[in-house]
Homo-oligomer: A and B are copies of this chain.
Amino acid sequence: MQRADGMMYAPQGKPNPVVDAGEFRFAAVGLDHGHIYGMCNGLIEAGAELAWVYDPDPIKVAAFRRRFPQARAANSEAQVLDDPTVHLVACAAVPADRCSIGLRVMDAGKDFFADKPPLTTLEQLALARARVAATARKYAVYYSERLHVESAVFAGDLIQQGAIGRVLQVVNLAPHRANLPSRPAWFFDPGRYGGILCDIGSHQIEQFLFYAGAQDARVLHSKIANYRHPQYPGFQDFGDATLLADNGATMYFRVDWFTPDGLPVWGDGRTFIMGSDGTIELRKYIDIAREESGDHLYLVNHQGMQHFALHGQVGFPFFGQLILDCLQRSEQAQPQAHAFKAIELAIQAQNMAMHIS
């Protein structure tokens, strides 16, 4: 399912069920972004049962059911929400619509699992936070560029083990392939996708907060541009930002849509984590002109240099943890405050961004 533009990025892991068959049932509602395939894959590999699918567009539903024939096509969102056996609803609707779906899902007593960005405005965020508090349900977020990337998972383990000392800085370079003729209309409307810093920036900020072990941060500077796509005036093909965390660590990230045609994958995503006693570099999706496989991690610390080829070696513990969190009302997979903080900062970065050209 991996297309060259990453829209359908849906890594395959090893099946590693944390529950028995039928013990955890979920539904897919809102199929606008292909990430829904990765979200469902991950949950199914962790033992979840995909019970329902709903989208207003029957063509999207039919395509989805070719991949996941076990999902029953619902006639309405309400039909899904009325099923008391459904624990969780996964959603990759148009970003601006995700929050209202999430509110209805939580009101129905179910947990919600949104593609990133999980919402697009601070007003939506306030509503989501309030409803999480009122319903005690989850509004989990598929920050796939860490959660669904084996080298990114392993980086977290290395940091936890103290391999690079205190994390002082995270730099993310996150190019994406535009492939614009294939994109739907909402892709060019910042009111619908949230803007480049909200959309693909939220991934980057989530990684920063996680790797730096930070609870909060401040956006110090951000900018956006539409350098080369004047035919799409609402499109933003470049953005960047720098942040300062509550624990003194800093971040810089760049997001862009300039992946050149000669790159065999959708983007040469890199993460550089500088610690007081070492560095980690992730070459997430390719090691350019070296290896066409992804998930290469380079560790340099006082002991020496190491290259880890991690594809197929680490797996994706997030999905099993999320299922158990839903069943046990715990927060192993992703603290709610962290999931919301990442998008809050991304929206702030978007709102304060300097426009350049």
Q: Give A residues with C-beta under 8 Å from B.
A: 164, 166, 168-169, 171, 173, 175, 220-221, 223, 225, 227-228, 238, 240, 242, 244, 248, 250, 252, 254, 256, 258, 260-264, 268, 272, 274-279, 281, 288-290, 298, 300-307, 354, 356-357
Chain B residues whose CB sits within 8 angstroms of the CB of A357 once the complex forms: 248
| B300 and A268 contacting across the interface, CB-CB below 8 Å | yes
- Known contacts being A173-B171, A173-B272, A240-B242, is A260 close to B248, with CB within 8 Å? no
A-B contact list, 11 entries, CB within 8 Å = A169-B254, A171-B171, A175-B274, A220-B221, A248-B357, A250-B356, A258-B275, A258-B276, A261-B301, A262-B305, A263-B305
Chain B residues whose CB sits within 8 angstroms of the CB of A238 once the complex forms: 168-169
| B302 and A288 contacting across the interface, CB-CB below 8 Å | no
List of 10 A-B pairs having minimum Cβ-Cβ separation, nearest first? A221-B221, A289-B307, A262-B304, A261-B302, A289-B305, A260-B278, A260-B301, A288-B298, A228-B276, A260-B302
Chain B residues whose CB sits within 8 angstroms of the CB of A281 once the complex forms: 288
CA distance A30 to B244 in the complex (A): 39
- Known contacts being A169-B254, A356-B244, is A288 close to B300, with CB within 8 Å? yes
Chain B residues whose CB sits within 8 angstroms of the CB of A260 once the complex forms: 164, 277-279, 300-302
Chain B residues whose CB sits within 8 angstroms of the CB of A242 once the complex forms: 221, 223, 240, 242, 252
Q: Knowing that A248-B357, A261-B302, A288-B307 are A-B contacts, what are 12 other residue pairs whose CB atoms are under 8 Å apart, sorted by A's residue number?
A: A169-B238, A171-B254, A175-B279, A220-B221, A220-B223, A227-B276, A240-B252, A258-B275, A261-B301, A263-B300, A288-B298, A290-B307
- Known contacts being A221-B220, A356-B244, is A262 close to B303, with CB within 8 Å? yes
CA distance A307 to B354 in the complex (A): 35
Would you give the shortest CB distance from A135 to chain B, in whole angstroms? Answer: 39
Chain B residues whose CB sits within 8 angstroms of the CB of A301 once the complex forms: 260-262
Chain B residues whose CB sits within 8 angstroms of the CB of A250 once the complex forms: 223, 240, 356
Q: Which of A173, A238, A262 has the most CB of B within 10 A?
A: A262
Chain B residues whose CB sits within 8 angstroms of the CB of A275 once the complex forms: 258
CA distance A85 to B43 in the complex (A): 79
The binding surface of chain A is classed by DSSP as strand
CA distance A194 to B242 in the complex (A): 24
Q: In this complex, what residue of B is CB-closest to A302?
A: B261
| A268 and B279 contacting across the interface, CB-CB below 8 Å | yes
CA distance A301 to B304 in the complex (A): 33
CA distance A298 to B240 in the complex (A): 23
CA distance A276 to B288 in the complex (A): 18
Would you give the shortest CB distance from A75 to chain B, in whole angstroms? Answer: 46
Would you give the shortest CB distance from A186 to chain B, in whole angstroms? Answer: 25
- Known contacts being A168-B227, A238-B169, is A262 close to B221, with CB within 8 Å? no
Chain B residues whose CB sits within 8 angstroms of the CB of A302 once the complex forms: 260-262
Chain B residues whose CB sits within 8 angstroms of the CB of A278 once the complex forms: 260, 262
Would you give the shortest CB distance from A342 to chain B, in whole angstroms? Answer: 21
Chain B residues whose CB sits within 8 angstroms of the CB of A225 once the complex forms: 168, 248
Would you give the shortest CB distance from A131 to chain B, in whole angstroms? Answer: 36
CA distance A227 to B168 in the complex (A): 8
Chain B residues whose CB sits within 8 angstroms of the CB of A227 once the complex forms: 166, 168, 248, 276
